[in-house]
């Protein structure tokens, strides 16, 4: 995998700063153009929709989201600061299908499109999306110019969330039991039941009183979009996302996953999602192992200093004020200064 050079591309004529709250619009490039609710053309593979927000500076960012919400809603409180450094591209997964290989084709095509313009993007991923990014980095191996990677509460393999072999000391937590049932569903009826449970769980999560209070009126539209996505994703869409997660295995450590700059942000309370035997937590919280996988990584734990409101897994929107200083400091250190 090619990390960016210290020579930043010329951006003469670019605006000196992004417009706060800039418009997010569909970004068709090459033959890629999909309607917001479309997934697979007849006889084709499921397609994500890519959106663009104009920014300033030489370093674009590609957002690869978790299971939910969509990428366009995942960094609501980071997008203006990230846009200071370059354009932002959001990859929204299809509602009724999911295919990892098709996603990699699209994202790889977007990276090559940006490379051809003299730009090397940051891959900004959250939770499940980080596992996809690591798999992409390993699959691509070389030929893609990438400035760096950001991973928030990274889930790099299915074993982070569930012990599928049943190797658990004592009863498994409810979330792990639910994930195990979802992964092991083998007929349509059982899958539909687990999807119904998943919809209720996600709906409850995003309606939670504390989250709604912290997000305030600014994000009423965002919350509505998230809840709409919870219900619009089809049974097949949920199931294929779950299968993609289940297919994520711990990456071999024969060589670094990525040689360039990386930022890994764990929440102070990851126990609600990660199982005690999580390979990702064990590896990235061990400096010698983390250094082998990501030699230039900055790894931080994000905490709130409020025992009644701890930072939890993937809560980059709700607890943005604790995440953002780490994100800003990391972007500032990337080669090639942003236009302020």
User: Which of 118, 60, 128, 61 is closest to 93 using CA atoms?
Assistant: 128
Residue 160: the pLDDT is 93
All residues at 6 or more sequence positions from 157 whose CB lies less than 8 Å from its CB, including other chains: 131, 248, 249, 250, 251, 279, 280
Give the integer Cα–Cα distance in Å for 304 and 272. Answer: 16
Give the integer Cα–Cα distance in Å for 191 and 184. Answer: 9
The strand pairing partners of 145, in sequence order, are: 2
Residue 60: the pLDDT is 97
Instruction: Report phi then psi at 265, rounded to 5.
Output: -120, 115
SS3 content of the chain, % helix, strand, coil (to 5): 40, 15, 45
Residue 266: the pLDDT is 97
Top CATH class of 2-160+252-333 equals alpha beta
Domain spans in the chain, listed from the N-terminal domain onward: 2-160+252-333, 174-244
pLDDT one digit per residue (tens) for the chain, 340 residues: 555 443 333 333 333 344 556 899 999 875 443 333 444 444 467 899 999 999 999 999 999 999 888 999 999 899 999 999 999 999 999 999 999 999 999 999 999 999 999 999 999 999 999 999 999 998 876 689 999 999 999 999 999 988 866 555 555 555 666 666 656 655 555 667 767 766 666 666 555 545 555 555 666 777 777 778 778 888 888 889 988 998 999 987 678 999 999 999 999 999 878 988 999 999 999 999 999 999 999 999 999 988 888 998 888 988 899 999 999 999 999 985 333 2
Please answer whether residues 50 and 29 qualify as being in contact, where contact means their C-beta atoms are separated by less than 8 angstroms.
yes
């Amino acid at each position: 995998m090619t990390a960016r050079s210290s020579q930043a591309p010329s951006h003469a004529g670019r605006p000196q700063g992004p417009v706060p709250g800039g418009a997010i619009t569909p970004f068709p490039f090459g033959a890629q153009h999909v309607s917001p609710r479309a997934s697979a053309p007849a006889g084709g593979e499921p397609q994500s929709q890519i959106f663009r927000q104009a920014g300033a500076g030489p370093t674009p960012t590609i957002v690869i989201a978790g299971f939910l919400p969509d990428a366009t809603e995942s960094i609501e409180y980071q997008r203006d600061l990230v846009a200071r450094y370059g354009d932002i591209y959001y990859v929204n997964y299809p509602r009724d299908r999911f295919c990892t290989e098709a996603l990699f084709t699209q994202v790889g095509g977007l990276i090559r499109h940006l490379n051809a313009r003299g730009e090397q993007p940051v891959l900004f991923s959250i939770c499940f999306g980080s596992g996809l990014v690591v798999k992409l980095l390993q699959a691509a191996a070389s030929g893609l110019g990438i400035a760096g990677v950001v991973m928030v509460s990274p889930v790099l393999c299915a074993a982070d969330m569930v012990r599928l072999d049943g190797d658990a000391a004592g009863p498994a937590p409810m979330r792990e039991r639910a994930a195990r049932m979802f992964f092991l569903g083998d007929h349509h009826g059982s899958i539909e039941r687990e999807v119904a449970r998943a919809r209720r769980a996600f709906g409850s999560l995003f309606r939670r009183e504390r989250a709604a209070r912290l997000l305030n009126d600014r994000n009423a539209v965002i919350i509505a979009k998230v809840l709409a996505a919870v219900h619009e994703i089809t049974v097949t869409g949920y199931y294929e996302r779950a299968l993609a997660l289940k297919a994520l295995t711990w990456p071999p450590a024969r060589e670094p996953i990525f040689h360039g700059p990386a930022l890994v942000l764990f929440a102070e309370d990851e126990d609600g999602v990660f199982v005690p035997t999580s390979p990702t937590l064990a590896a990235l919280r061990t400096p010698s192992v983390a250094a082998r996988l990501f030699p230039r990584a900055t790894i931080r734990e994000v905490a709130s200093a409020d025992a009644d409101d701890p930072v939890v897994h993937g809560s980059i929107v709700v607890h943005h004020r604790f995440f953002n200083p780490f994100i800003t400091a990391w972007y500032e250190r990337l080669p090639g200064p942003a236009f302020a």
